[in-house]
Amino acid sequence: MLIIDGLDECSLPDERNSILKFLSTISDAEHGHIKAMFASREEVDIKEQFSHFDKISIAAKGTDLELFVAAGIEMRIENKTLRLKDIALKGVIIQGIMSKAKGM
């Protein structure tokens, strides 16, 4: 069983293309009985390369993600790696991160 997460994080186009081509063939009959699962944000090249694979959509609930981000901010405030002059910035930071996360 092979599990790989973060295919979308391989950002060099030539390397990513080669990696995707190889991985998309790894569970073919010629490779034996390898079961593979790949996780990634939905991106066009990945979607096309793995079009013959079954897909499962997984996304965190907004409230789960918001709680996680808020806890991370609180931890940083407590250990003084984040200093806010205005506590209202905490909400701005949370909303900024939430808007970019897209369910991840």
> How far is CA 18 from each of CA 15, 46, 90, 93, rounded to the nearest angstrom?
5, 11, 41, 37
User: For the chain, which residues make up each domain, given as ranges?
Assistant: 2-49, 62-101
Residues 46-99 have pLDDT tens digits of 999 899 888 888 766 767 888 889 999 999 999 999 999 998 999 999 989 888
Ordered DSSP codes for the chain: -EEEE-GGG---HHHHHHHHHHHHHTTSGGG-S--EEEE----HHHHHHTTTS--------HHHHHHHHHHHHHHHHHTTSS--SSTHHHHHHHHHHHHHHTT-
